[in-house]
């Protein structure tokens, strides 16, 4: 047995792309899942001798979630020394307060992406590796929003809180693996652009996020990805079921 098989969802841009590119230089095999592929990840994988397989799926769609889980784990190489799943795919979802929050389809798709895809892919990995003599690690990318309520973010906060609790439950159920729900802090990604383009009536905290951008307080996806990979390979990994990368990357 040798090498790592790494799986990263939401890998076409932002933090997911940065994580995939980082792992392309060290993993034996890199599996990415997102609607679009990332040419830079493919080039880095080829240059380092890493086998890269991309699954083009929209993980806000239940049929795509099931297809991704079936496609990846029906043919998973069972000879690796380490299996790493990073459930990074996520969306802010509809931003609205109780009196205007009524788009059931948007709410459902957000929970599919933020929670259900992570649950089903984690389940598939844990089942596939249960009898293997391998190091199995799962990182669910969470958010401080799942641990502190924010007006207007009812859907996002609830989905990340659900992801946190699922991680804690799965940790109890699967002793052969180590799992963590990891908050990455504020990152300069497309999600931040979406936040700043919002309406203050829906999201009263808008000014704070505008200031974070204007003052250069947003960290780059590359810096956060580097900190996360370093954390994954450290003695601190999954020492707490709910953690925050900012505790290790100052």
Q: What digits encode the pLDDT tens for the residues 188-229? A: 999 999 999 999 999 999 999 999 999 999 999 999 999 999
Q: Is residue 209 part of a domain?
A: no
Tokens of 230: 């370093």
Q: Is residue 134 part of a domain?
A: yes
Q: Is residue 62 part of a domain?
A: yes
Q: Is residue 210 part of a domain?
A: no
Q: Is residue 22 part of a domain?
A: yes
**Catalytic entry in 55, 83, 98, 156:** 156
Q: Is residue 202 part of a domain?
A: no
Phi, psi of 51 (to 5 degrees): -80, 120
Q: Is 86 exposed, middle or buried (0-12, 13-18, 19+ CB in 10 A)?
A: buried
Give me the residues paired with residue 44 across strands: none
Answer for the pair 23, 1: CB distance below 8 angstroms, yes or no.
Answer: no
Q: Mean pLDDT across the chain, nearest whole number?
A: 96
Instruction: Say what the pTM is.
Output: 0.96
The domain in which residue 230 lies consists of: 4-187+221-243
Q: Is residue 200 part of a domain?
A: no
pLDDT > 60? residue 1: no
pLDDT (tens digit per residue) in 88-144 = 999 999 999 999 999 999 999 999 999 999 999 999 999 999 999 999 999 999 999
| Region 56-60 average pLDDT | 98
| 156 carries an active-site annotation | yes
What is the total count of domains within the chain?
Answer: 1
Q: Is residue 120 part of a domain?
A: yes
Q: How far apart are CA 156 and CA 141, in angstroms?
A: 13
- CATH number at 121 reads 3.40.50.720
Q: Is 203 exposed, middle or buried (0-12, 13-18, 19+ CB in 10 A)?
A: buried
Percent of the chain whose predicted confidence (pLDDT) is above 90: 98
């Amino acid at each position: 047995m040798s090498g790592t098989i790494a799986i990263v969802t939401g890998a076409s841009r932002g933090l997911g792309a940065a994580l995939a590119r980082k792992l392309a230089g060290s993993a034996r095999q890199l599996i990415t899942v997102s609607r679009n592929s990332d040419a830079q990840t493919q080039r880095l994988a080829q240059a380092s001798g890493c086998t890269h397989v991309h699954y083009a799926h929209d993980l806000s769609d239940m049929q795509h979630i099931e297809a991704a889980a079936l496609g990846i784990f029906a043919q998973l190489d069972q000879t690796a020394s380490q299996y790493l799943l990073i459930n990074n795919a996520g969306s802010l979802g509809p931003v609205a307060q109780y009196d205007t929050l009524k788009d059931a389809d948007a709410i459902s798709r957000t929970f599919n992406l933020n929670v259900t895809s992570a649950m089903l892919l984690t389940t598939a990995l844990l089942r596939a590796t249960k009898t293997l003599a391998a190091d199995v690690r799962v990182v669910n990318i969470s958010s401080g929003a799942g641990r502190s309520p924010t007006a207007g973010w009812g859907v996002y906060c609830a989905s990340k809180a659900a992801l946190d609790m699922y991680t804690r439950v799965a940790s109890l159920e699967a002793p052969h693996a180590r799992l963590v729900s990891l908050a990455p802090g504020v990152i300069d990604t497309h999600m931040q652009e979406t936040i700043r383009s919002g309406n203050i009536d829906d999201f009263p905290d808008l000014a704070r996020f505008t200031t974070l951008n204007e003052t250069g307080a947003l960290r780059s996806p590359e810096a956060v990805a580097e900190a996360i990979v370093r954390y994954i390979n450290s003695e601190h990994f999954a020492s707490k079921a709910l953690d925050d990368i900012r505790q290790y990357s100052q």
